[in-house]
């Protein structure tokens, strides 16, 4: 007597799983549909199994029914590995690779086709099983198992081959089908009365449902669109498989301002409205784009294929609607939508670059109110550098490739060069000259800024402590500190210990901090700055006028110098700017601060700012940043100091 207990349990579990799939709305998308199909197949094969076993147990003599039940069971049961393989292919989105040509399709379907044909003709050939004297396996029965082996092997190979697309939980879940089916077959071979195959498949479907199909991982509950993680997964898959997509990338530029004005709840509502608008655009175009809400006001529409007409239309429709749309929930909202249309992988060549670019392109481009093409705003070299920044920095540190350049700073009152700003330079063998404007932020993200900062500071200390420096008549060197450096607990101690090591007096160093750093009222940063200030170091506020400073913080900081940003210089012909500048200078002078003007390129600019009573001038007009030896030569010649052939001062 065979027992149907495991089959009955499997049926109950399958019913539960089916209902869960419906409740969790896991019925959209090819993968989900193939998963549902696997449940349906399991229900049918289990039912056929119960039917066949019941006939056997009651010693039925109805040959037709017996053949029908056993053939039905085996046909449906054996299609499972085939459908499961389709499911794995759909998870990797590699249909086009497998089904590129007919030969491959035939090869793929062949093992199951053999099974199917053998079973279909079995009532006449009796090669697989017979039912006349009770259900008995015949000579070719084991070809059934042989025919599913290719799918099982392919499944394992596929998951391993595409493992970068899956996390460990998914890999484990996808292997569970193979492992459990294998155990079930072994059990069944040794104990024929135990029918555990359907039960094993059901168990593995549960595991796959829990480990692979997790809508909560993919769908944002507020907007109903796919989440950031789904975008990352889909894009990674797309680049990996060389698929062509057109992406409409929408970043709402004033998201932060809107959130701070309107509050979280209201903003959630607004984002929901935007997502409905995007959905509507997609429907009107019959675009079949995948829609994503990443976070902080960033949305994506991804159109498959090379044709970009729909993506282009969607982008401009979206731009027009967002520029117009001002009345949401009784509020007048002005969006600053930035939309970039990108063709991948032609225009943005890698997954990492796509993600890094999408993060903050709205902060790096001027708002034009027009859809931008990726080719206009995306610089592949910049992102190649960002993606490889760790390697580049490691290579530079190992090969001593970093250099410190100096840009002279001129004192108007004493009519000579009194100081200089130390600026980092790197020439990488692969990427060429790397601007600190790319290097420093990337190094801040990767944490390498601390090592780089230490290098710059030590170089400056070596220079300042040398004899040349004193003979050149320079007062101090300005060294840039980035926000990440200021927030590091060890900063003050490290700086003081290097100065101690080289016996550098604190008045030969001035530390530049930016407005962004100044507006942080972070405890660590305040402690660092206070400690350094107590040790006698002075500070400059760099790039004044570019950020939004917290004036109260700026006033509290131990600042000696304020550096007016180049943007002031560029706009000096604007009469309002000139009034603003005059008053800013007066205010800073009244506060007993010294003023450096950055970015002076012409004599006219120099005179204008000298008349304003600024103290110091820095800019290409006098000199670009130059290497140490050139700098020594430059200062020596401007001060009429003679140098010998070794560049030492005579
Ligand atoms: P910054 O501190 O404001 O440095 C001044 C920048 O303006 C330098 O760019 C300099 O070359 C440029 N500049 C000076 N005069 C002129 C001019 O007349 N016209 C124009 N168009 N530009 C001028 P650079 O060297 O590319 O540095 C860019 C930024 O990178 C710096 O801005 C600073 O924020 C950062 N940086 C550079 N070196 C370091 C460093 O050692 N540590 C840290 N943390 N940041 C650094
Ligand atoms: Mg600076
Ligand atoms: Mg500056």
* 462-492 per-position pLDDT tens digit: 999 988 898 899 999 999 999 889 988 899 9
547, pLDDT greater than 70:
no
Residue 216 makes CB contacts below 8 A (sequence gap 6+) with none
Residue 150 burial (10 A CB sphere; 0-12, 13-18, 19+): middle
pLDDT of residue 357: 92
Atom of ligand 1 minimally distant from the CA of 620? 18
Q: What is the mean pLDDT of residues 6-23?
A: 90
pLDDT of residue 647: 64
3-state SS class at 399: coil
169, pLDDT greater than 90:
no
The CATH superfamily holding the domain 219-378 is Reverse transcriptase/Diguanylate cyclase domain (3.30.70.270)
- pLDDT above 90: percentage of residues in the chain: 46
**Which ligand number lies closest to the CA of residue 540?**
2
The CATH superfamily holding the domain 401-639 is EAL domain (3.20.20.450)
pLDDT of residue 518: 64
Bridge partners of 249, per DSSP, are 300, 340
| Ligand 2 centroid, distance to 542 Cα (angstroms) | 5
217, pLDDT greater than 70:
no
| Ligand 2 centroid, distance to 460 Cα (angstroms) | 14
**Which ligand number lies closest to the CA of residue 606?**
1
* CATH code that applies to domain 5-213: 1.20.1070.10
pLDDT of residue 245: 94
Q: What is the mean pLDDT of residues 352-365?
A: 90
Q: 47: pLDDT confidence band, cut at 50, 70 and 90?
A: very high
**Which ligand number lies closest to the CA of residue 488?**
1
Peptide bond into 345 cis (omega under 30): yes
pLDDT digits (tens, 9 = 90+) for 227-272: 898 899 889 989 988 889 999 999 999 998 888 888 888 888 889 8
Which residues have CB atoms below 5 A from the ion given as ligand 2? 480, 512, 542
650, pLDDT greater than 70:
no
Atom of ligand 1 minimally distant from the CA of 485? 44
Q: 11: pLDDT confidence band, cut at 50, 70 and 90?
A: very high
Return d(Cα 512, Cα 420) in angstroms, integer: 12
310, pLDDT greater than 70:
yes
Q: Whose CA is nearest to atom 22 of ligand 1?
A: 599
| Ligand 1 centroid, distance to 437 Cα (angstroms) | 8
Ligand 1 neighbours, Cβ below 6 Å, are: 407, 423-424, 435-437, 440, 453, 456, 480-482, 512, 542-543, 566, 598-601, 618-620, 625
What mean pLDDT is reported for the chain? 88
Bridge partners of 406, per DSSP, are 422, 626
Q: Whose CA is nearest to atom 15 of ligand 1?
A: 619
Domain boundaries in the chain? Answer: 5-213, 219-378, 401-639
Rounded to 5 degrees, φ, ψ at 641 are -100, 135
Best mutation site among 420, 439, 478, 480 for ligand 1 pocket (most ligand atoms within 8 Å of CB): 480
| Ligand 1 centroid, distance to 424 Cα (angstroms) | 8
- pLDDT above 70: percentage of residues in the chain: 95
Nearest partner of 48 among 62, 35, 65, judged by Cα: 65
553, pLDDT greater than 80:
no
Asked if the domains at 219-378 and 401-639 fall in one CATH topology, the answer is no
pLDDT of residue 332: 79
Q: What is the mean pLDDT of residues 72-95?
A: 88
Q: What is the mean pLDDT of residues 282-305?
A: 91
């Amino acid at each position: 007597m065979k027992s149907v207990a495991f089959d009955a349990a499997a049926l109950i579990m399958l019913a539960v799983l089916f209902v869960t799939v419906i409740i969790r709305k896991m019925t959209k998308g090819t993968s989900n549909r193939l998963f549902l199909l696997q449940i349906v197949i399991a229900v049918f094969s289990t039912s056929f199994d119960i039917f066949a076993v019941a006939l056997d147990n009651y010693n039925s003599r109805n040959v037709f029914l017996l053949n029908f039940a056993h053939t039905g069971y085996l046909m449906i049961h054996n299609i499972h590995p085939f459908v499961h393989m389709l499911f794995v292919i759909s998870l990797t989105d590699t249909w086009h690779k497998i089904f590129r040509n007919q030969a491959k399709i035939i090869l793929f379907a062949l093992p199951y086709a053999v099974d199917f044909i053998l079973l279909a003709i079995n009532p006449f050939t009796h090669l697989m099983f017979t039912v006349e004297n009770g259900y008995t396996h015949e000579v070719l029965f084991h070809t059934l198992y042989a025919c599913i082996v290719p799918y099982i092997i392919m499944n394992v190979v596929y998951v391993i081959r595409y493992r970068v697309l899956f996390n460990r939980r998914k890999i484990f879940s996808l292997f569970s089908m193979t492992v459990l089916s294998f155990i079930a077959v072994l059990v069944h071979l040794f104990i024929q009365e135990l029918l555990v195959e359907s039960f094993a498949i059901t168990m593995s479907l549960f595991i796959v449902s829990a480990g692979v199909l997790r809508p909560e991982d993919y769908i944002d509950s507020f907007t109903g669109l796919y989440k950031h993680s789904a975008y990352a997964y889909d894009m990674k898959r797309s680049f990996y498989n060389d698929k062509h997509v057109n992406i409409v990338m929408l970043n709402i530029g004033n998201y932060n301002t809107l959130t701070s004005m309107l509050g979280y709840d209201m903003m959630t509502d607004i984002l929901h409205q935007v997502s409905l608008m995007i959905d509507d655009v997609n429907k009107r175009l019959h675009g079949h784009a995948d829609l994503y809400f990443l976070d902080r006001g960033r949305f994506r529409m991804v159109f498959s294929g090379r044709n970009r007409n729909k993506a282009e239309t969607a982008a401009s429709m979206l731009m027009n609607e967002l520029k117009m749309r001002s009345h949401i929930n009784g509020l007048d909202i002005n969006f600053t939508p930035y939309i970039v249309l990108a063709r991948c992988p032609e225009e943005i060549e890698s997954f990492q670059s796509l993600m890094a670019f999408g993060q903050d392109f709205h902060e790096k481009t001027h708002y034009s109110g027009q859809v931008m093409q990726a080719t206009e705003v995306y610089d592949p070299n910049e992102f190649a550098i960002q993606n490889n920044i760790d390697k580049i920095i490691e290579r530079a540190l190992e090969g001593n490739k970093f250099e410190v350049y100096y840009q002279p700073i001129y004192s108007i009152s004493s009519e000579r060069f009194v100081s200089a700003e130390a600026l980092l330079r790197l020439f990488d063998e692969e990427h060429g000259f790397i601007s600190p404007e790319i290097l420093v932020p990337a190094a801040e993200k990767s944490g390498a800024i601390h090592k780089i900062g230490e290098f710059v500071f030590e170089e400056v200390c070596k220079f300042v402590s040398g004899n040349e420096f004193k003979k050149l008549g320079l007062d101090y060197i300005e060294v840039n500190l980035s926000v990440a450096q200021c927030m590091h607990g060890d900063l003050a101690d490290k700086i003081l210990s290097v100065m101690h090591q080289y016996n550098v007096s604190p008045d030969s160093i001035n530390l530049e901090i930016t407005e962004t750093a100044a507006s942080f009222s972070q405890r660590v940063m305040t402690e660092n700055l206070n400690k350094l200030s107590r040790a006698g170091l002075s500070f400059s506020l760099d790039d004044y006028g570019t950020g939004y400073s917290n004036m109260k913080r700026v006033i509290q900081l131990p600042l000696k110098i304020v550096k007016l940003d180049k943007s002031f210089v560029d706009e000096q012909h604007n009469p309002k700017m000139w009034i603003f500048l005059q008053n800013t200078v007066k205010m800073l002078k009244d506060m007993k601060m010294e003023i450096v003007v950055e970015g002076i390129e012409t004599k006219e600019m120099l005179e204008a700012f000298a008349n304003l009573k600024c103290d110091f001038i820095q800019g290409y007009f006098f000199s670009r940043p130059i290497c140490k030896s050139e700098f020594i030569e430059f200062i020596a010649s401007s001060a009429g100091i003679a140098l010998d052939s070794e560049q030492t001062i005579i």
